[in-house]
Amino acid sequence: MLDQRKIIHIDADCFYAAIEMRDDPSLAQVPLAIGGSSQNRGVLSTANYLARSFGVRSAMPTAQAKRLCPSLVVIPGNMEKYRLASRQMHAIFRQYTDIIEPLSLDEAYLDVTDCEACHGSATRIAEQIRQQVREQIGITVSAGVATNKFIAKVASDWQKPDGLTIITPDQQFEFVSQLPVKCISGIGKVSQERLAALGVFICSDLQKIDFSILQKNFGSMAFRLSQYALGIDKRPVQTTRERKSVSVEHTFSEDLCSLESCLARLPELLASLDKRMAGRGLEAQVSKYYLKLKFNDFKQTTIEQAIQSTFSKQVFSALLTRAYQRQSRPVRLIGVGYRLSTPAPRQLDMGFD
Could you give the CA distance from residue 134 to residue 131 in angstroms, rounded to a whole number? Answer: 5
Residue 161: is the preceding peptide bond cis (ω within 30°)? yes
Positive/negative CA dihedral, 175, 177, 181, 185? positive
Please, what sign has the CA dihedral across residues 126, 131, 137, 140? positive
Clarify whether 20 is annotated catalytic: no
d(CA 232, CA 9): 16
Q: Is 106 annotated as a binding residue?
A: yes
Surface-to-core class of residue 155, CB atoms within 10 Å of its CB (0-12 exposed, 13-18 middle, 19+ buried): buried
Please tell me which residue in 20, 101, 107, 283 is annotated as part of the active site.
107
Residue 81, φ and ψ in degrees, nearest 5: -65, -40
Secondary element (H or E) of residue 341: none
Q: Under 8 Å CB-to-CB from 346, ≥6 apart: which residues?
A: none
210 is in an annotated binding site: no
Contact 143, 9 (CB under 8 A): yes
Give the integer Cα–Cα distance in Å for 247 and 319.
15
- Kindly tell me the sign of the dihedral angle through the C-alpha atoms of 21, 27, 33, 34: negative
User: CA-to-CA distance for 131 and 138, rounded, in angstroms?
Assistant: 10
Q: What is the DSSP string of 225-279?
A: HHHHHTT---PPPPSS----EEEEEEEEEEEE-SHHHHHHHHHHHHHHHHHHHTT
Residues at the binding site are 11, 106
Which residues are catalytic, by number? 107
Residues at the binding site for Mg(2+) are 11, 106
